Protein backbone atom coordinates (compact mmCIF):
# COMPACT_ATOMS: atom_id res chain seq x y z
CA UNK A 1 0.00 0.00 0.00
CA UNK A 2 1.40 3.36 -1.05
CA UNK A 3 -0.11 6.31 0.78
CA UNK A 4 0.66 9.82 -0.45
CA UNK A 5 0.10 13.06 1.46
CA UNK A 6 -1.00 16.02 -0.62
CA UNK A 7 -1.92 19.61 0.15
CA UNK A 8 -5.63 19.91 -0.58
CA UNK A 9 -7.45 22.44 -2.70
CA UNK A 10 -11.15 23.15 -3.16
CA UNK A 11 -11.62 20.09 -5.39
CA UNK A 12 -11.31 17.91 -2.27
CA UNK A 13 -14.11 19.72 -0.42
CA UNK A 14 -16.70 16.91 -0.58
CA UNK A 15 -14.17 14.22 0.37
CA UNK A 16 -13.10 16.20 3.43
CA UNK A 17 -16.70 16.92 4.40
CA UNK A 18 -17.51 13.20 4.28
CA UNK A 19 -14.54 12.35 6.51
CA UNK A 20 -15.33 15.18 8.91
CA UNK A 21 -18.91 13.95 9.24
CA UNK A 22 -17.58 10.51 10.22
CA UNK A 23 -15.40 12.24 12.82
CA UNK A 24 -18.47 14.04 14.20
CA UNK A 25 -20.40 10.76 14.43
CA UNK A 26 -17.53 9.11 16.32
CA UNK A 27 -17.19 12.01 18.75
CA UNK A 28 -20.96 12.37 19.18
CA UNK A 29 -21.53 8.68 19.92
CA UNK A 30 -18.59 8.21 22.26
CA UNK A 31 -17.45 11.50 23.77
CA UNK A 32 -19.64 14.56 23.16
CA UNK A 33 -23.38 14.07 22.48
CA UNK A 34 -23.71 17.85 22.07
CA UNK A 35 -21.95 17.71 18.68
CA UNK A 36 -24.31 18.20 15.74
CA UNK A 37 -23.87 15.33 13.30
CA UNK A 38 -24.36 16.60 9.75
CA UNK A 39 -23.13 20.12 10.54
CA UNK A 40 -20.29 19.79 8.04
CA UNK A 41 -22.83 19.67 5.18
CA UNK A 42 -24.78 22.67 6.42
CA UNK A 43 -24.11 26.24 5.29
CA UNK A 44 -21.80 27.08 8.19
CA UNK A 45 -19.91 23.79 7.93
CA UNK A 46 -19.35 24.12 4.20
CA UNK A 47 -18.21 27.74 4.61
CA UNK A 48 -15.76 26.66 7.33
CA UNK A 49 -14.08 24.08 5.09
CA UNK A 50 -14.05 26.37 2.06
CA UNK A 51 -12.30 29.03 4.16
CA UNK A 52 -9.84 26.43 5.49
CA UNK A 53 -9.04 25.18 1.97
CA UNK A 54 -8.61 28.71 0.61
CA UNK A 55 -6.86 30.40 3.52
CA UNK A 56 -5.37 27.84 5.89
CA UNK A 57 -3.59 24.47 5.76
CA UNK A 58 -5.40 21.27 4.74
CA UNK A 59 -3.76 17.99 3.80
CA UNK A 60 -5.31 14.81 2.48
CA UNK A 61 -3.98 11.26 2.60
CA UNK A 62 -4.49 9.36 -0.65
CA UNK A 63 -4.58 5.64 -1.39
CA UNK A 64 -4.20 6.00 -5.15
CA UNK A 65 -7.04 8.44 -5.90
CA UNK A 66 -9.10 7.68 -2.79
CA UNK A 67 -9.05 10.13 0.12
CA UNK A 68 -8.58 8.04 3.28
CA UNK A 69 -7.68 10.79 5.75
CA UNK A 70 -7.27 14.52 6.20
CA UNK A 71 -5.93 17.21 8.51
CA UNK A 72 -7.15 20.80 8.72
CA UNK A 73 -5.03 23.30 10.65
CA UNK A 74 -4.97 27.02 11.34
CA UNK A 75 -1.86 29.23 11.53
CA UNK A 76 -1.04 32.38 13.47
CA UNK A 77 -3.94 31.99 15.86
CA UNK A 78 -2.22 33.58 18.87
CA UNK A 79 -3.42 36.86 20.29
CA UNK A 80 -1.44 39.96 21.11
CA UNK A 81 -1.17 38.83 24.74
CA UNK A 82 1.35 36.03 23.98
CA UNK A 83 4.90 36.19 22.67
CA UNK A 84 5.12 33.06 20.51
CA UNK A 85 3.52 32.32 17.15
CA UNK A 86 1.06 29.44 17.33
CA UNK A 87 -0.73 27.06 14.96
CA UNK A 88 -3.47 24.54 15.73
CA UNK A 89 -4.58 21.20 14.35
CA UNK A 90 -8.28 21.98 14.16
CA UNK A 91 -9.51 18.54 13.15
CA UNK A 92 -8.24 15.38 11.51
CA UNK A 93 -9.59 11.94 10.70
CA UNK A 94 -8.30 8.72 9.14
CA UNK A 95 -10.57 5.89 8.03
CA UNK A 96 -10.48 3.04 10.56
CA UNK A 97 -9.00 0.39 8.27
CA UNK A 98 -6.07 2.71 7.45
CA UNK A 99 -5.18 3.66 11.04
CA UNK A 100 -2.30 1.23 11.52
CA UNK A 101 -0.18 2.55 8.67
CA UNK A 102 1.16 5.73 10.28
CA UNK A 103 -1.04 8.00 8.17
CA UNK A 104 -2.02 10.22 11.08
CA UNK A 105 1.63 10.79 11.96
CA UNK A 106 2.42 11.64 8.33
CA UNK A 107 -0.35 14.25 8.30
CA UNK A 108 0.93 15.76 11.56
CA UNK A 109 4.50 15.89 10.24
CA UNK A 110 3.42 17.62 7.02
CA UNK A 111 1.53 20.21 9.03
CA UNK A 112 4.54 20.81 11.29
CA UNK A 113 6.83 21.16 8.25
CA UNK A 114 4.63 23.90 6.84
CA UNK A 115 4.49 25.60 10.23
CA UNK A 116 8.31 25.67 10.32
CA UNK A 117 8.43 27.15 6.84
CA UNK A 118 6.10 29.90 8.08
CA UNK A 119 8.30 30.46 11.17
CA UNK A 120 5.56 29.31 13.53
CA UNK A 121 7.05 28.31 16.86
CA UNK A 122 4.39 26.14 18.49
CA UNK A 123 1.58 23.78 17.45
CA UNK A 124 -1.36 22.77 19.61
CA UNK A 125 -4.27 20.33 19.33
CA UNK A 126 -7.43 19.68 21.35
CA UNK A 127 -8.90 16.24 22.06
CA UNK A 128 -11.88 15.00 24.06
CA UNK A 129 -10.74 14.15 27.59
CA UNK A 130 -12.34 10.69 27.34
CA UNK A 131 -10.78 9.91 23.95
CA UNK A 132 -7.73 8.11 25.32
CA UNK A 133 -6.74 6.72 21.90
CA UNK A 134 -6.53 10.22 20.41
CA UNK A 135 -4.67 11.60 23.42
CA UNK A 136 -2.12 8.75 23.29
CA UNK A 137 -1.70 9.28 19.54
CA UNK A 138 -0.94 12.98 19.96
CA UNK A 139 1.47 12.30 22.81
CA UNK A 140 3.34 9.79 20.63
CA UNK A 141 3.63 12.56 18.06
CA UNK A 142 5.30 14.94 20.48
CA UNK A 143 2.38 16.85 21.97
CA UNK A 144 2.36 17.41 25.73
CA UNK A 145 -0.48 18.26 28.10
CA UNK A 146 -0.82 22.03 28.34
CA UNK A 147 -4.37 23.20 29.05
CA UNK A 148 -7.45 21.61 30.62
CA UNK A 149 -10.92 22.66 29.47
CA UNK A 150 -13.79 22.00 31.89
CA UNK A 151 -17.47 22.01 30.94
CA UNK A 152 -20.86 21.52 32.56
CA UNK A 153 -24.47 22.33 31.78
CA UNK A 154 -25.48 25.76 33.03
CA UNK A 155 -28.44 24.36 34.97
CA UNK A 156 -26.65 21.35 36.42
CA UNK A 157 -25.17 20.52 39.78
CA UNK A 158 -22.44 17.90 39.36
CA UNK A 159 -23.38 16.23 42.62
CA UNK A 160 -27.02 15.88 41.55
CA UNK A 161 -26.53 14.87 37.94
CA UNK A 162 -28.22 11.68 36.76
CA UNK A 163 -25.96 9.28 34.92
CA UNK A 164 -25.68 5.54 34.29
CA UNK A 165 -22.92 3.21 35.46
CA UNK A 166 -22.61 -0.27 33.95
CA UNK A 167 -20.46 -2.61 36.06
CA UNK A 168 -19.26 -5.53 33.96
CA UNK A 169 -19.08 -9.28 34.55
CA UNK A 170 -16.10 -11.47 35.41
CA UNK A 171 -15.10 -11.76 31.74
CA UNK A 172 -15.65 -8.07 31.08
CA UNK A 173 -17.75 -8.79 27.99
CA UNK A 174 -20.60 -6.59 29.24
CA UNK A 175 -18.72 -3.53 27.98
CA UNK A 176 -18.62 -4.83 24.41
CA UNK A 177 -22.15 -6.23 24.21
CA UNK A 178 -25.29 -4.64 25.67
CA UNK A 179 -23.24 -2.09 27.62
CA UNK A 180 -22.45 -0.42 24.29
CA UNK A 181 -26.13 -0.36 23.37
CA UNK A 182 -26.96 1.32 26.69
CA UNK A 183 -24.19 3.87 26.10
CA UNK A 184 -25.33 4.68 22.56
CA UNK A 185 -29.03 4.85 23.47
CA UNK A 186 -28.65 7.22 26.41
CA UNK A 187 -25.77 9.32 25.07
CA UNK A 188 -28.27 10.38 22.39
CA UNK A 189 -30.48 11.70 25.18
CA UNK A 190 -27.59 13.61 26.71
CA UNK A 191 -27.26 11.13 29.60
CA UNK A 192 -23.70 10.19 30.50
CA UNK A 193 -23.04 6.44 30.52
CA UNK A 194 -19.91 5.25 32.31
CA UNK A 195 -18.44 1.81 31.57
CA UNK A 196 -15.55 1.38 34.02
CA UNK A 197 -12.98 -1.25 33.11
CA UNK A 198 -12.08 -3.51 36.01
CA UNK A 199 -9.53 -6.37 36.03
CA UNK A 200 -11.11 -9.54 34.63
CA UNK A 201 -10.98 -13.31 35.08
CA UNK A 202 -8.19 -14.47 37.43
CA UNK A 203 -7.13 -10.84 38.05
CA UNK A 204 -10.58 -9.85 39.26
CA UNK A 205 -10.88 -8.84 42.91
CA UNK A 206 -13.04 -6.68 45.15
CA UNK A 207 -10.06 -4.59 46.26
CA UNK A 208 -9.23 -3.64 42.66
CA UNK A 209 -12.89 -2.96 41.93
CA UNK A 210 -13.14 -0.71 44.98
CA UNK A 211 -10.00 1.23 44.05
CA UNK A 212 -11.32 2.06 40.60
CA UNK A 213 -14.91 2.80 41.54
CA UNK A 214 -13.86 4.96 44.50
CA UNK A 215 -12.22 7.41 42.07
CA UNK A 216 -15.62 7.99 40.47
CA UNK A 217 -17.15 8.42 43.91
CA UNK A 218 -14.48 10.90 44.98
CA UNK A 219 -14.90 13.09 41.90
CA UNK A 220 -18.72 13.00 42.25
CA UNK A 221 -19.29 11.26 38.92
CA UNK A 222 -20.75 8.39 40.92
CA UNK A 223 -23.30 10.24 43.03
CA UNK A 224 -26.67 10.03 44.73
CA UNK A 225 -28.55 10.31 41.41
CA UNK A 226 -26.58 7.63 39.55
CA UNK A 227 -28.35 4.62 38.07
CA UNK A 228 -26.05 1.66 38.67
CA UNK A 229 -26.41 -1.52 36.61
CA UNK A 230 -24.40 -4.51 37.78
CA UNK A 231 -23.86 -7.63 35.68
CA UNK A 232 -22.96 -11.00 37.24
CA UNK A 233 -20.03 -10.65 39.69
CA UNK A 234 -20.23 -6.87 39.36
CA UNK A 235 -23.24 -7.09 41.70
CA UNK A 236 -21.39 -8.84 44.51
CA UNK A 237 -18.63 -6.23 44.34
CA UNK A 238 -21.07 -3.32 44.17
CA UNK A 239 -23.11 -4.48 47.17
CA UNK A 240 -19.94 -4.71 49.26
CA UNK A 241 -18.83 -1.29 47.96
CA UNK A 242 -22.12 0.34 48.98
CA UNK A 243 -21.87 -0.90 52.56
CA UNK A 244 -18.18 -0.15 52.97
CA UNK A 245 -18.34 3.34 51.44
CA UNK A 246 -21.83 4.13 52.75
CA UNK A 247 -22.84 4.86 49.17
CA UNK A 248 -26.50 5.02 48.17
CA UNK A 249 -27.35 5.47 44.46
CA UNK A 250 -30.71 6.63 43.14
CA UNK A 251 -31.37 3.27 41.50
CA UNK A 252 -29.70 -0.14 41.43
CA UNK A 253 -30.41 -2.72 38.72
CA UNK A 254 -28.89 -6.18 39.18
CA UNK A 255 -28.59 -8.21 35.98
CA UNK A 256 -28.07 -11.96 36.60
CA UNK A 257 -26.33 -11.28 39.94
CA UNK A 258 -23.53 -13.80 40.46
CA UNK A 259 -21.02 -14.65 43.21
CA UNK A 260 -23.29 -13.05 45.80
CA UNK A 261 -23.77 -16.27 47.77
CA UNK A 262 -21.48 -19.15 48.68
CA UNK A 263 -23.10 -21.90 46.67
CA UNK A 264 -21.48 -25.30 46.13
CA UNK A 265 -19.81 -25.75 42.71
CA UNK A 266 -18.02 -28.58 40.87
CA UNK A 267 -15.50 -26.16 39.32
CA UNK A 268 -11.82 -26.34 40.23
CA UNK A 269 -10.40 -23.42 38.21
CA UNK A 270 -9.56 -19.78 39.04
CA UNK A 271 -13.26 -18.91 39.27
CA UNK A 272 -13.50 -20.70 42.61
CA UNK A 273 -10.96 -18.38 44.25
CA UNK A 274 -12.38 -15.27 42.61
CA UNK A 275 -15.87 -16.08 43.86
CA UNK A 276 -14.63 -16.85 47.36
CA UNK A 277 -13.30 -13.32 47.81
CA UNK A 278 -16.42 -11.82 46.22
CA UNK A 279 -19.19 -13.29 48.38
CA UNK A 280 -21.44 -10.87 50.23
CA UNK A 281 -22.28 -10.89 53.92
CA UNK A 282 -25.84 -10.57 55.13
CA UNK A 283 -25.16 -7.14 56.62
CA UNK A 284 -24.06 -5.89 53.19
CA UNK A 285 -27.25 -7.18 51.59
CA UNK A 286 -29.23 -5.58 54.43
CA UNK A 287 -27.57 -2.23 53.72
CA UNK A 288 -28.81 -2.34 50.12
CA UNK A 289 -32.24 -3.52 51.20
CA UNK A 290 -32.70 -0.78 53.78
CA UNK A 291 -31.05 2.18 52.06
CA UNK A 292 -31.43 1.98 48.28
CA UNK A 293 -34.99 2.90 47.50
CA UNK A 294 -35.32 1.72 43.88
CA UNK A 295 -33.99 -1.75 43.05
CA UNK A 296 -34.58 -4.30 40.29
CA UNK A 297 -33.25 -7.77 39.54
CA UNK A 298 -33.26 -9.08 35.95
CA UNK A 299 -32.80 -12.83 35.47
CA UNK A 300 -33.44 -15.35 32.72
CA UNK A 301 -33.61 -18.98 31.61
CA UNK A 302 -29.86 -19.70 31.92
CA UNK A 303 -30.53 -19.33 35.42
CA UNK A 304 -33.44 -21.77 35.70
CA UNK A 305 -31.29 -24.07 37.91
CA UNK A 306 -30.45 -20.99 39.97
CA UNK A 307 -34.02 -19.76 40.28
CA UNK A 308 -34.02 -20.18 44.06
CA UNK A 309 -30.81 -18.16 44.30
CA UNK A 310 -32.36 -15.25 42.41
CA UNK A 311 -35.53 -15.38 44.47
CA UNK A 312 -33.33 -15.29 47.55
CA UNK A 313 -31.47 -12.26 46.16
CA UNK A 314 -34.73 -10.46 45.36
CA UNK A 315 -35.97 -11.08 48.89
CA UNK A 316 -32.65 -10.19 50.58
CA UNK A 317 -32.46 -6.86 48.74
CA UNK A 318 -36.20 -6.20 48.49
CA UNK A 319 -35.81 -5.79 44.71
CA UNK A 320 -38.45 -5.96 42.03
CA UNK A 321 -37.82 -9.23 40.18
CA UNK A 322 -38.07 -9.15 36.37
CA UNK A 323 -37.88 -12.50 34.57
CA UNK A 324 -36.86 -12.23 30.90
CA UNK A 325 -37.04 -15.38 28.82
CA UNK A 326 -34.28 -16.41 26.35
CA UNK A 327 -31.52 -14.11 27.67
CA UNK A 328 -29.53 -16.84 29.41
CA UNK A 329 -26.75 -15.13 31.40
CA UNK A 330 -27.12 -11.87 29.41
CA UNK A 331 -23.57 -12.48 28.18
CA UNK A 332 -21.42 -12.32 25.06
CA UNK A 333 -21.24 -16.11 24.75
CA UNK A 334 -24.96 -16.08 24.04
CA UNK A 335 -24.64 -12.95 21.86
CA UNK A 336 -26.84 -10.70 23.95
CA UNK A 337 -26.05 -7.36 22.33
CA UNK A 338 -29.24 -5.57 23.36
CA UNK A 339 -31.72 -5.78 26.23
CA UNK A 340 -34.67 -3.63 25.10
CA UNK A 341 -36.50 -4.30 28.36
CA UNK A 342 -33.56 -2.84 30.31
CA UNK A 343 -33.47 0.24 28.08
CA UNK A 344 -37.21 0.72 28.61
CA UNK A 345 -36.79 0.30 32.38
CA UNK A 346 -34.07 2.96 32.54
CA UNK A 347 -36.20 5.33 30.46
CA UNK A 348 -39.04 4.90 32.95
CA UNK A 349 -36.68 5.56 35.84
CA UNK A 350 -35.36 8.72 34.18
CA UNK A 351 -38.86 9.90 33.32
CA UNK A 352 -39.95 9.59 36.92
CA UNK A 353 -36.90 11.55 38.03
CA UNK A 354 -37.70 14.34 35.60
CA UNK A 355 -41.32 14.42 36.72
CA UNK A 356 -40.21 14.63 40.36
CA UNK A 357 -37.95 17.58 39.57
Same domain assignment for residues 135 and 18? yes
Q: Is pLDDT larger for residue 237 or for residue 100?
A: 237
Strand 57-63 versus strand 86-94 pairing type: unpaired
pLDDT digits (tens, 9 = 90+) for 49-90: 999 999 999 999 999 999 999 999 998 776 666 778 899 999
Number of neighbours of residue 32 by Cβ within 10 angstroms: 16
Same domain assignment for residues 163 and 267? yes
* 314 neighbors 321 (Cβ within 8 angstroms): yes
pLDDT digits (tens, 9 = 90+) for 312-354: 999 999 999 999 999 999 999 999 999 999 999 999 999 886 5
Same domain assignment for residues 301 and 176? yes
Q: What pLDDT shows up at residue 47?
A: 97
pLDDT above 70 covers what percent of the chain? 94
CATH label of the domain that carries residue 277: 3.40.50.1820
Buried b (16+ CB within 10 A) or exposed e, 202-211: eebbbeebbe
Per the structure, the complete domain to which residue 39 belongs is given by 3-140
Same domain assignment for residues 60 and 204? no
Same domain assignment for residues 273 and 135? no
What's the Cα-to-Cα distance from 3 to each of 22, 68, 71, rounded to whole Å? Answer: 20, 9, 15
Same domain assignment for residues 136 and 166? no
* 159 neighbors 226 (Cβ within 8 angstroms): no
Same domain assignment for residues 119 and 189? no
Q: What pLDDT shows up at residue 156?
A: 53
Q: What is the pTM of this model?
A: 0.58
- Least trusted range by pLDDT, from 31-35, 107-111, 201-205, 270-274: 31-35
pLDDT digits (tens, 9 = 90+) for 252-279: 999 999 999 998 878 889 999 999 999 9
What percentage of the chain's residues is helix, strand, coil (to nearest 5)?
45, 20, 35
Same domain assignment for residues 109 and 187? no
As for how many domains the chain has, the answer is 2
- In a 3-state reduction of DSSP, which class is residue 243? helix
**What are φ and ψ of residue 78, in 5° steps?**
-70, 155
CATH label of the domain that carries residue 94: 3.40.630.30
150 is a domain residue: no
Confidence of residue 307 (pLDDT cuts 50, 70, 90): confident
Q: What pLDDT shows up at residue 168?
A: 97
Amino acid sequence: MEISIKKADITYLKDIQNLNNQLFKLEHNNFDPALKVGWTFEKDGEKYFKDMLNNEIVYVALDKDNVVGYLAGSTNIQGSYVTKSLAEVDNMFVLEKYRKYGIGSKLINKFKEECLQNRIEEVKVTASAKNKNAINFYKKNGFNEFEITLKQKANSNTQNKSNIFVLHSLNGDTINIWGQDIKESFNKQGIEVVLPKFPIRADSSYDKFKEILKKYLDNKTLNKNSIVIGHSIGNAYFIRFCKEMNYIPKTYVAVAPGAVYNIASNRNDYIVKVKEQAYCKQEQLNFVKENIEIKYCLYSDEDEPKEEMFKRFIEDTNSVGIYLKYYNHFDGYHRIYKIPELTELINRILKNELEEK
